[in-house]
Amino acid sequence: MMVHTMLMAQDLHFSQFFSSPLSTNPANTGFIPDADYRLGMHVRKQYSNIMAIPYKTFSAFGDVQILNNTINNGWMGLGMLLLSDVAGAGNLSSNKIYASIAYHQMLGNSSLLSAGFNLGWANKSINTNNLKFPDQFDGDFFDNTLPTSVVLLNNSVHYFDVQAGLNYAYFPTEDIYINGGYSIHHVNNPKETFFSTNTSSDIIPMRHIGFLNAIVKLNDKVIVKPNLFFTTQARATNFMLGSIFNYNLFENGEKQLIAGLYYRWNDGIVPMAGLQWKEFECIFSYDITLSDLKRYNYGNGAAECSIIKKGFLPSSQPRQSLCPKF
């Protein structure tokens, strides 16, 4: 049963949650205040100094605004999201692909309400060749050539998955932008198990995510972007708060330095640094462990890198950005 519990671990997560908008909230699909479309890629490598085979997580996404000129003060968003993760010596791998849709409606001239959902297909598989089970302990070592009573029904499972979310944005002036959102993942109660059991414990627990962002232009050189992020799934919780600062290197904002620091509650800090050049943004971050785990990993948590490209469609009509810009 210990193996069963470990295989039902919490969902994938990124420290740079703001760089993975579609996995954070499907209502973010097409929610692009300063562009028509965006493409992103995200890589995370965790615990490489304490595990022979560290956790490796990858995501890629793309979304676009459509029907801007046909819906009165509103538009639709369409997107795709790919998530992939490989963990541990058993090569526990997870691959998911989602199609996202959202609707965005202006409320007056200074606020926006969005709702969206995504529908996906998920596959999880495990390679048991390198796994060792409790009944394979011979008194001195674990020997995986010994027989075991742990029996898997199959080594691969798949299921459909549904997420839903809401967003609200408020932008009273050109220099202030505030955005909050809430989403629920696994609303269709999908089941995931490698064993022959068919109980309520096989159901993936719903994951709840809430966030609050702001973008404030302090002057022609500095924009500050504070964030709060909270997620809970079963008994696992994750709370982060911090901020990123963009420093304008040129008058028109074509090149910007990015620096930030986040704190993960009861775990550690996450310094970030990056560069924005025209329509490209690249951010690198590193999780520094401050909890008791630092006795084993010496404070080395996870390295993470994200790249996002934003742009306008050829047929796009000129429009004002909804968030502060240089």
pTM: 0.86
How far from 121 is each of 28, 97, 185, 199, CA to CA, in Å?
Answer: 19, 6, 13, 22
Q: Rounded to the nearest 5 degrees, what angle is found at the Cα of 325, between the Cα atoms of 320 and 326?
A: 125
Domain 2-311 CATH superfamily: monomeric porin ompg (2.40.160.40)
Question: 27 near 167, Cβ under 8 Å?
Answer: yes
Q: How far apart are CA 117 and CA 194, in angstroms?
A: 28
Tens digit of pLDDT per residue, the chain (326 long)?
333 333 444 567 789 999 999 999 999 999 998 889 999 999 998 765 555 567 889 999 999 999 887 777 889 999 999 999 887 665 788 899 999 999 999 998 889 999 999 999 999 888 776 666 666 666 666 666 666 666 677 778 899 999 999 999 999 998 999 999 999 999 999 988 877 666 666 888 999 999 999 999 999 899 999 999 999 998 889 999 999 999 999 878 889 999 999 999 988 999 999 999 989 999 999 999 887 766 766 667 789 999 999 998 887 666 667 777 88
Q: Which residues pair with 113 in a beta bridge?
A: 105, 168
Domain edges within the chain: 2-311
